[in-house]
Structure 1
Amino acid sequence: MADDEPSLTRWSFMFGRKRLPEPRNGSSTDPSVASNGSSPAVLANGSAHVNASDLSIYEQFNQGRSSAQSIGVLPNRNGEKPQKSLLPAFDSAETRSLAESLCRDIVRDSQDVMWESIKGLENAKHLLKEAVVMPIKYPKYFTGLLSPWKGILLFGPPGTGKTMLAKAVATECKTTFFNISASSVVSKWRGDSEKLVKVLFELARHHAPSTIFIDEIDAIISQRGEARSEHEASRRLKTELLIQMDGLTRTDELVFVLAATNLPWELDAAMLRRLEKRILVPLPEPVARRAMVEELLPSQPSEDSLPYDLLVERTEGFSGSDIRLLCKEAAMQPLRRLMSILEQKHEIVPEDELPKVGPITHEDIEAALKNTRPSAHLHAHRYEKFNADYGSQILQ
């Protein structure tokens, strides 16, 4: 064994793992063997019970995992008592490993995004409350033909608040929130992508009521058969996702798929059929733009009122993200004037002696309007057409 020590050290170093400490008194360093040489008790989920004396060795095997994943339970929102187990019972260690990787995308803490913090978008908020919030609060009424919609699509220009709406749904419903992107379910190993999708929906059922939020879903399930170079693995992933979503509509489990995209016309037709509610998240209207500007650039009582009417008029076609950048640019103008003064001094001014930043003037607003351009207004007509063809509307 002495001759093998260098090779073992080299391989351990290459794989980024620390070597276990040398055994004491002939005891084994294998965590599956207890300190007295006997095999440990095997739990119902297939994991081994580890004695307290072997805990340090066990922790080394779990290095890199969170304590919640190692123990197998999730803390509650206050971090006091454990809630239900983190993972359901899986048949194989491979499936359990895939489930552990997906558990990193579970958001257990409250998103702290309330409906009131989202300016405008009344139509989208009303439809989301009808599709997700009310079925969770009052499940008695949503049975049979009125069973809740399981697939909801949020589409619209970038920067209009689709992700904020998804966070507001998670905050309002207090559901387990799975924040999924393409990197969460796409694997380089053959067959793992389909397994990840299947395990994702099993986890969502285990933690129901839950919301699976898939951001930029067009990166995962664009139209099939459009490109001849489409890889076989991509087609299998899309097929598995379609099968799992179809299974949600046949059960009464409160698992919702909330998807967001900037390119709804590139989605596969079968996916559009499963995303039953298709909600347009448009560019903000004048009332919403004024509310955003007044919140981001509040007027001080001792200063002149800012030209809010001018800002609302000149920001036609701006998204919510564009308006935030515009207000940030306006707020930077007085800071730039102060920075030019401070740079002329040869020494750093102490923090308690720094002067206050001056107020924002009308000239600052004009300069910000000249330097900021909208980023999402070019394809606004395409979203309107898609909404007319496939979108959901409020029936008065």
Structure 2
Amino acid sequence: MSVREIVENVKLAREYALLGNYSSASVLYHGLLEQIKKHTYTVCEGSYQQRWQQLLQEISEESRQVQDIMSTLENFQYDAAAAKPANHSDFDQRPVHVEPRAQTPQQSSKCGSAGPAAALAPGNGDRSRVPKSRDKDPKEAKEGAGKTKDDKTKSDVQEKEIKKFDGSGCDKDLVEALERDIISQNPNVKWDDIADLEDAKKLLKEAVVLPMWMPAFFKGIRRPWKGVLMVGPPGTGKTLLAKAVATECRTTFFNVSSSTLTSKYRGESEKLVRLLFEMARFYAPTTIFIDEIDSMCSRRGTSEEHEASRRVKAELLVQMDGVGGASENDDPSKMVMVLAATNFPWDIDEALRRRLEKRIYIPLPSAEGREDLLRINLKELEISADVDIEKIATQMEGYSGADITNVCRDASLMAMRRRIEGLSPEEIRNISRDEMHMPTTMEDFESALKKVSKSVSASDLEKYEKWIQEFGSC
């Protein structure tokens, strides 16, 4: 699915919605959401991925609006079914008035997409065509239709309440900023999408996922952990692990950074922290992922610490104490789990370290993990038969996951660089797509390895290992 096809489908879905063909628009929007999710997964650069995530939220909102319109139209149909019998003194005359109750084109399209069985099912406005309805009392028929309508309206209201946080009593701008920037429903990253790190996956499942699956077991002293801290060198997959946790738990994912909770106005940063946790409890079950937590919660009491920074840390510590694990009387579906990641664990405040009870080390990938990472990165590329993945993985000992991705990206561009070398801009623009179809060779990987070096030194690894031996909780 190319970007051009996605753009065309967006235009077509919006055009159907404007023309009133809501059923077709709904089908297109549903397909678009899946296409955009798949395309977002293939985008590696962070800024572009963020734009695609924003587009995904916009399309999801448009799809929800189309669904609301379809529900409203269906409610009007129930109103007609409930009101018509009351307008006639003789109930046996109802069949005479069935024909004028023809469906609108939008409703007809909706029934057509659901099939004949759905169109004739109870609750779709066709009760007058069922012979048994003549034997019913008009008052009972009216009450039945009204009850169906009330039940449906009640369920719709409940669904909307789950999706929309009630910000009454809070600053509306702060609520909108948090909802727009950090709420992400189902990041769509599975455990299989992450190579290696089997020990870390196992620990995260035990600390986060299993309490959601086995709520009756994780009570009392076995209650879930308040928070989990992932420690490791840059580029080892800490953020991906957090997204996988959110996906597997089917939780709402809050991706928080220092800029999210920072404001130039006095006292507003603390309000943002408190509002974040209030929204997390509202959208529970929720995963709050705080990346680079050392930037927000460095050690208190130092000479460089500002008063505003200290207040934000204090509010964060108070809110994290208020989240806690599910007690015997708590509903496990309301659990809020705090995940944090850092590259500088030795700079974290001691009180925060105590609240992050489970501290997991995310190491560099092993030899087998490097091979898996290479296969994941190259699954969409055509590679030559001479490419030896095992040999490449051996040569990349000490490389992080991000370094391996950079090597694959650089190697995939080598063929294009050879093809356009010495050509003018006009000649480059006239190159056909077939001419650009060039597989990546082993020579390309050898050249890329010479250009891309590892980003983690041996001395850094010693510091991580020493800290995890002292404070780790694996």
TM-score by length of 2: 0.62
Q: Does 1:157 align with 2:233?
A: yes
Name the residue aligned to 1:118. 194
Name the residue aligned to 1:268. 349
CA distance 1:143–1:86, change in 2 (3 Å) = same
Contact preservation (8 Å) 2:300, 2:349: yes
Name the residue aligned to 2:304. 229
Q: Distance in 1 between matches of 2:65 and 2:220?
A: 33
Say which of 309, 324, 339 aligns to 1:249.
Answer: 324
Higher relative contact order (CA 8 A, sep 6+): 1
CA distance 1:331–1:78, change in 2 (3 Å) = farther
Q: Which residue identity is paired with 1:288? A: G
Contact preservation (8 Å) 1:121, 1:281: yes
Cα shift at 1:293: 1.5
SS in 2 for 1:177: strand
Contact preservation (8 Å) 2:256, 2:289: yes
How many percent identity over aligned positions?
A: 45
Q: Distance in 1 between matches of 2:392 and 2:356?
A: 37
Q: Which residue identity is paired with 2:208? A: V
- The structure in which a higher percent of residues are helix is 2
Once the two structures are superposed, what CA deviation does each residue of 1:191-217 show, in whole Å capped at 9, x if it has no partner? 111111111111111111111111111
Contact preservation (8 Å) 2:229, 2:339: yes
Matches within 5 A, 1:19-30: none
Cα shift at 1:341: 6.1
Q: Which residue identity is paired with 1:107? A: I
Q: Which residue identity is paired with 1:362? A: M
CA distance 1:179–1:281, change in 2 (3 Å) = same
SS in 1 for 2:289: strand
Q: Distance in 2 between matches of 1:251 and 1:369?
A: 49
Say which of 260, 271, 277 aligns to 1:195.
Answer: 271
Cα shift at 1:305: 3.2
Return the index of the structure with the highest Cα Rg.
2
SS in 2 for 1:153: strand
Name the residue aligned to 1:325. 406
Q: Which residue identity is paired with 2:421? A: S
TM-score by length of 1: 0.73
Q: Does 1:370 align with 2:468?
A: no
Cα shift at 1:360: 2.8
CA distance 1:296–1:79, change in 2 (3 Å) = farther
Q: Which structure 1 segments of 5+ residues have no match?
A: 1-65
Cα shift at 1:74: 12
Equivalences, count = 319
CA distance 1:390–1:373, change in 2 (3 Å) = same
Q: Which structure 2 segments of 5+ residues have no match?
A: 1-53, 69-155, 328-333
SS in 1 for 2:255: strand
Matches within 5 A, 1:1-396: 82-83=159-160, 84=162, 86-88=164-166, 90=168, 92-94=169-171, 96-226=172-302, 228-249=303-324, 252=327, 253-297=334-378, 303-340=384-421, 342-343=423-424, 348-349=429-430, 351=432, 354-378=434-458, 379-393=460-474
Contact preservation (8 Å) 1:99, 1:199: yes
Contact preservation (8 Å) 1:318, 1:375: yes
Once the two structures are superposed, what CA deviation does each residue of 1:1-58 show, in whole Å capped at 9, x if it has no partner? xxxxxxxxxxxxxxxxxxxxxxxxxxxxxxxxxxxxxxxxxxxxxxxxxxxxxxxxxx
Name the residue aligned to 2:122. none
Cα shift at 1:89: 5.8
Cα shift at 1:376: 2.1
Contact preservation (8 Å) 1:74, 1:86: no
Q: Which residue identity is paired with 2:441? A: T
Q: Which residue identity is paired with 1:173? A: C
Contact preservation (8 Å) 1:299, 1:306: no
CA distance 1:297–1:196, change in 2 (3 Å) = closer
Contact preservation (8 Å) 1:108, 1:177: yes
Contact preservation (8 Å) 1:283, 1:319: yes
CA distance 1:218–1:236, change in 2 (3 Å) = same
